[in-house]
Structure 1
Amino acid sequence: MDKYLSTPGTSRRDVLRGLAYGGLLLAVDLPLGRLAVAGENAPAVFAPDAFIRIAGDGTATLIMPQVEMGQGIYTAMTMLIAEELDLPLAAVRLEAAPASDALYGNPIFKIQATGGSTSVRAYWTPMRKAGAAARAMLVEAAAKRWQVAPASCETRDGTVLHAATGRSLPYGDLAAAAARLTPPADPPLKDPKTFRLLGKTQTRLDIEAKGNGSAQYGIDAMPPGVKFATLASCPVPGGKVKSVDDAQARAVPGVRQVVVLDDLVAVVGDHMWAAKKGLDKLVITWDEGPNATLSTDSLRAAMHEAAKQPGVPVKSEGADAQPGAPGVISASYELPFLAHAPMEPMNCTVHLRPGACDVWTGTQVMTKAQAMAAQAAGLKPEQVTVHNHLLGGGFGRRLEVDMIDKAVRIAAHVDGPVKVVWTREEDIQKAMYRSTYGSWLSAKLENGKPVAWRHTVVGPSVIARWLPPAFTGGIDIDAIDGASDQPYAVGGFHVDYVRHEPQGVPTCFWRGVGPNNTVFSVESFIDRLARETKSDPLEYRRALLSANPRALQVLNTAAERAGWATPLPAEAGGRVGRGICLQSVFGSYLATIAEVAVRDDGDVRVRRLVTAVDCGMVVNPDGVISQIQGGMVFGLSAALHGQITFEKGRVQQSNFHDYRVVRIDEMPAVEVHLVPSTEAPGGIGEPGTTTVQPAVANAIYAATGVQLTRMPIDRTLLAKGGRT
């Protein structure tokens, strides 16, 4: 599995030549498999860009700018390169990119980050151009050797061919000559009609290693002499250590030391079991600080108060729909705090020495991780080496670097490398959370259709903290995503944003990000309008989509495949219904039909989920389907069970017994249908999550007449048959 994880350096020549493609560089490997720093006796290096290296033996290496956390991006990105370079997919090996915004910054974020369903969207053109440029240079090198026109040559399976004379040369034989050529400024890309790989299902490159257990995640890092540590921070956000009695902890066999910092206590041992048993024996007194009285009710009440304040206008066009005005229907919708709970808990291994720091972890943000480690260690970023690994789930949690800060501060008190591992309880109870969000919507109807629409989004701004340049004019572009650009024609259109930071609770991105809130609220409200006008929810949507053919097509496809017009099988002792969610976010269009059965005691069984997807041109069809399926597990877990609640400043959930994910007996049948498209690729990692809650809520509405305006599903309410 080391072929997926080695981290190359970059030469000065790489850097100087790399900016021709938006700060992205393609480099070439040497036969020994390490990146060359050109010297007097070094072989020539083929380096027209920042992504690829081709060795003299023909080995091609892709320097992977994005990280693999289960979403299949290693395979998709390799397909983009291999397609334009005319290489077999199996011929490309992967290396994680080093920390460098200049060379490996995501073209959308402008920093080195994986998230927001941006990987294929951001790299669709740059990766293909990198492959096309390399191919053009290899062809030119072969043509010069043969003294023929480049146009008379072709490429296939890592070889340049000259059909007229029957000659051929493998890429490895041409690498040195190609290295002396100038990269083309605008290499032509393949016509999609000629694609060999793109659009066709390919076996994931990481599946063998994950299947046989050789895959290396951050938690698997084991530098020589490593010790183990686990930690406890204050159960109340923002609290500090007041006093520690560590006598019993130090008596535990295998415990080596106790590290006490102002905000946490860590126990270091020979192995994780010793560290954990030692932690259990600590007697810690906390100064809980000003957040010790926080509760879910007080946090929710504060959000409702914030909603009464005027928001920052995001979009304002035409007639308005003021709540309380004649003919205006209004509703509000809310989502709770949520944890990320990745299967691989937070972990970070650090070796801190004078003038240098090594960090082994799995992170979605290499340069942010490097900068945080440098800050915590009192070093310059270039003195910190981050060894990135596969991620055992990210979901936005590993877009944060607070765990690296804590690990480095602990490592400063440990002689040699130390692996800091968060227990599941520490991970869930003292984490950063998907914040509560609220949406207040109003619509004025004429002849049953909305002629004015108002949407107020209330919630924190993660963007303001995480990517400050993107927070302009007081508007969080993520929080209003899906509200300012919903798919329906609704006449006058007003959207505003009220920034509200929940007291004391650290918040961050969560899979699906802003559209979790906006899609849930918009789609729930559309169903409300349809039923207020006694319209079929499908036909009501169709009538509002005449100017949006892509949205209409996925809606029609999902309805047809789900059999919308056919009766549902009955449920003994319960009620059944179908519900719709339509969304156009992340550059993709999805429609989902959910089938549910609601028993008389309020128990909800989601029986079937049918989704139609138009994500533009598809790279790996099986990868898209898997992403939607995985997102649906995430979204359904949130709908049925997901919430983080506070009492006396403390999170009340602690592990998977009370912060549930769907179990196998709760998982419905899932069908995903890809709608062919020639549009540019859209994102697909997030939409599977955002599509589930509104579809399920609307299906419950159809079955019971109860519109759920808050998540997770309130079974007591459904048993009573009342409204929220």
Structure 2
Amino acid sequence: MNRPFKPTAPSRRDVVVAASLVGGSLLVGCSPADLMSMGSKVEVGAFGPFIKIAPDGAVTVISKHIEFGQGSHAGLAALVAEELGADWSRVRVEYAPANAKLYSNGNVGAQLTGGSSAIANSWDQLRKAGATARAMFVQAAANRWNVPAGEITVKDSLLTHASGKAATFADLLTDAAKVPPPTEVKLKDPKAFALIGTDRVRRKDSQAKSDGTARYTQDVRLPNMLTAMVAHPPRFGAKVKSFDATEAKKVAGVVDVFQVPSGVAVVAQNTYAAKLGREALNVTWDEDKAEKRGSAAIAQHFKDVLVGKDASVKWEPFDQRGDASSLASAKGENVFEATYEFPYLAHATMEPMNCVASVDGSKVKLVFGSQGPTLDQLNAAKIVGCLPGSVEVETLFAGGSFGRRANFQSDYVAECVHIAKKVGDGRPVKLVWTREDDMQAGYFRPIVVHAVKVTLDKDGYPAAWRHRIVTQSIMKGSPMPMGKGPDQTAIEGAAGSPYLKATPVVDAQVAFPDVGVPVLWWRSVGATHTAFVMEHTIDQLARKAGKDPVEYRRALYRKAGADRHLAALNHAIDKAGPVATPGWARGVAVHESFGSVVAQVAEVKREEGVPRVGRVIAAVDCGVAISPDQIAAQMEGGICYGLSAALFGEVTLTDGKVDQGNFDTYRVLRINEAPMVETHIVPSGNAPSGVGEPGTPVIAPAVANALLALDQRATARLPLIRGA
């Protein structure tokens, strides 16, 4: 999933902007979270906003983060259960209501899940919540037994004292709820953890997802509910000019047809009728402002920007050091140059976009897998004309996101709200997107082009590094704080790279041409391309210098003081063993993203000219490992997702129209093509960092480097089946 934005302290301007979005008046002393929560009626229980304890002693952890397959709910529950001393078998998880003030992610003032931040953002917060509730139970027991609180122990929801006295959470619940929560609590020493870091921390949703009781948006069945589909324009930026609904309204089950900002909506009694009605529509599109270029033309424009053919696009520096004035014209045996191209990518979630909405006057309710409840509340409120906090959001499971379900426009959510508002009277409407809608009317990882020029010193290491990146800006027009400098989502992974830190002279800049194709963060965001460029370049530099790529990296890491990179690399090499499987070549890559460092060793061979990855050894430094089993699952999933894109992923446009529509034309990795993945966790006492995304960007360069070792051919373009 993808990172929407980095947590940063809101500025006064952010507060003013947020205020204007909820009615135009600034309330003194209000933060963006206060403003976004205005109208909310969320009630908080005795044990705070994150914990509910039932009369029978069962513990419910309230998760502010959506579960869309990444398995974070188990880790979040473990943080509470560890400090609370709860019986893990009697701990469950439920979604938090939408309330940015209570459930914001970090200090951005927004409730959202992204950037592999669920555990990292909740590490202190949920442990303190558990420790606070524990202290309340301990004090209740101490009062009842007339013993010092420090003599009471808590384990598996049972409080005991050396005198033989004992009581369960259920026994003490009423008394504990009356104890004033302490303002300060002492957290466990990690050495005393009995749950965190063990294989006991397994998913809490496996049973429900196995027996079909887990609730997704498509499972929602409400009284009098209608189903809607929307005819979207074939080119981005086009608008409805006119439409003829005569034939559509003849379809049995079609209730109404009308225009919405994104196209023409067909509302029906069921999905099939809505689909047939949409197919019967006759729509004329106004394409005066539509993007009509194909993807090849867009990529060529980016390459023209690289070489200075379009002076209207301005360059923004993101890393500059030393005198690089002579680097652009440098030539000779010690100079390396390469250009890399990356295509549009679809998120291709297994569950396409969908939403259920009802609008009754200024009363709005949304039922769906909301990745960013605050964004969805804000956009719904703007459509209906109500306070954001009064928009009720019931969050459900979602079948993947990789960033797609959270965007500043809440595109498909807003579409559903527009339709529900037109239907009116509080009648629920389920908006359904087909796979083709999702592939052709959604958002994409942008096209990116890199140009790298490096001069080597007498020992073969980088002496000067010139780097240019051309891509679309994901954050342009964002209502959220971006901080200083260029859009970080385009440069992360290159900016701050240990390879640049180890280079005396650096001239790194980025340019953002305007393109009419909607783009969005895609699992691991900027690292999807920067990891490849940095790691594949380093392998080529090592070979140009006549050095072993692993030893070359080690020398640069030592020079840059990149101890975590060095440790992860050494761990992966050690676990991989001394030699590759006979007949297979090895490639290595190391990259840091979302606070975690991942090193991968990939064993690759060619079968009928196509790369085949047989084994991947991954070493990850992600701080304290909450759930080792889930970390391994995320590495496996992230590697397969990244490998799928590296081998096959490409969205193309012809005359502005997306060519791909389903998995027959947007090729993904098949189960028989998935490698064996071995995950090894680098021991760490640091706070947890990201896990969901850091495995994804490393596999492509690892495979490309294995292919370089195999046949001495570098890769200049992804996907790999076209890139050699």
Alpha-carbon displacement from aligned partner over 1:371-429 (angstroms, at most 9, x marks no partner): 11111223322332111111110110011211011111112222521111011111101
Alpha-carbon contact 2:237-2:291 (below 8 Å) kept? no
Number of corresponding residues: 671
Alpha-carbon displacement from aligned partner over 1:433-490 (angstroms, at most 9, x marks no partner): 1111233323221111113333333323323444631x23342223222112223452
Change (3 A) 1:236 1:449: same
2:170 maps to 172
1:640 maps to 647
Alpha-carbon displacement from aligned partner over 1:534-586 (angstroms, at most 9, x marks no partner): 222112112222233322222122223333x425423xxxxx52211101221
The answer on 1:406 being equivalent to 2:415 is yes
Corresponding residue to 2:564 among 550, 570, 589: 550
Deviates more, 1:487-496 or 1:327-336: 487-496
Alpha-carbon contact 1:483-1:495 (below 8 Å) kept? no
The answer on 1:667 being equivalent to 2:674 is yes
The answer on 1:569 being equivalent to 2:582 is yes
Change (3 A) 1:609 1:109: farther
5+ residue gaps in structure 2?
A: 1-28, 35-40
1:434 maps to 445
1:582 maps to 590
Letter in 1 for 2:453: S
Q: How does 1:285-300 map to 2 (within 5 A)?
A: 285-300=284-299
Alpha-carbon contact 1:311-1:496 (below 8 Å) kept? no
Change (3 A) 1:581 1:206: same
Alpha-carbon contact 1:299-1:502 (below 8 Å) kept? no
Q: How does 1:334-373 map to 2 (within 5 A)?
A: 334-373=341-380
Q: Matches of 2:244 and 2:476 in 1, distance apart?
A: 40
Secondary structure of the 2:498 match is coil
Q: Matches of 2:721 and 2:205 in 1, distance apart?
A: 40
1:324 maps to 329
Alpha-carbon contact 1:306-1:498 (below 8 Å) kept? no
Deviates more, 1:642-651 or 1:292-301: 292-301
Alpha-carbon contact 2:85-2:157 (below 8 Å) kept? yes
Deviates more, 1:544-553 or 1:231-240: 544-553
2:604 maps to 596
Letter in 1 for 2:419: I
Q: Matches of 1:340 and 1:466 in 2, distance apart?
A: 20
Shift of 1:252: 1.8
Secondary structure of the 2:672 match is helix
Shift of 1:36: 9.8
Secondary structure of the 1:545 match is helix
Q: How does 1:88-487 map to 2 (within 5 A)?
A: 88-107=87-106, 109-163=108-162, 165-201=163-199, 202-307=201-306, 308=308, 311-318=315-322, 320=324, 322-326=327-331, 327-400=334-407, 401-415=410-424, 416-446=427-457, 447-466=459-478, 468-469=480-481, 471-487=482-498
Alpha-carbon contact 1:551-1:589 (below 8 Å) kept? yes
Letter in 2 for 1:301: Q
Deviates more, 1:451-460 or 1:221-230: 451-460
Letter in 2 for 1:523: E
Letter in 1 for 2:317: P
Q: Matches of 1:544 and 1:528 in 2, distance apart?
A: 14
2:37 maps to none
5+ residue gaps in structure 1?
A: 1-18, 25-34, 39-44, 571-575, 719-724
Letter in 1 for 2:699: V
1:42 maps to none
Corresponding residue to 1:682 among 683, 689, 712: 689
The answer on 1:630 being equivalent to 2:637 is yes
2:12 maps to none
Secondary structure of the 2:57 match is coil
Change (3 A) 1:705 1:295: same
1:510 maps to 522
Alpha-carbon contact 2:321-2:507 (below 8 Å) kept? no
Q: What TM-score does the superposition give when structure 2 sets the normalisation length?
A: 0.88
Q: Matches of 2:469 and 2:710 in 1, distance apart?
A: 28
| Structure of higher RCO (CA pairs closer than 8 Å, 6+ residues apart) | 2
Secondary structure of the 1:404 match is helix
Change (3 A) 1:382 1:323: same
Q: Matches of 1:536 and 1:137 in 2, distance apart?
A: 59
Q: Matches of 2:505 and 2:658 in 1, distance apart?
A: 39
2:573 maps to 559
Secondary structure of the 2:570 match is helix
Root-mean-square deviation (CA, aligned residues, Å) is: 2.3
Alpha-carbon displacement from aligned partner over 1:658-708 (angstroms, at most 9, x marks no partner): 111101222122221222222221101111111111111111111122111
Secondary structure of the 1:387 match is strand
Q: Matches of 1:258 and 1:23 in 2, distance apart?
A: 38
2:624 maps to 617
Q: Matches of 1:598 and 1:156 in 2, distance apart?
A: 55
Percent sequence identity is 40
Change (3 A) 1:131 1:467: farther
Q: What TM-score does the superposition give when structure 1 sets the normalisation length?
A: 0.88
Change (3 A) 1:634 1:103: same
Letter in 1 for 2:455: K
Change (3 A) 1:464 1:180: farther
Deviates more, 1:641-650 or 1:250-259: 250-259
Q: Matches of 1:445 and 1:697 in 2, distance apart?
A: 22
Shift of 1:93: 2.5
Q: Matches of 2:139 and 2:511 in 1, distance apart?
A: 56
Alpha-carbon contact 1:319-1:451 (below 8 Å) kept? no
Q: Matches of 2:547 and 2:284 in 1, distance apart?
A: 60
Alpha-carbon contact 2:119-2:688 (below 8 Å) kept? yes
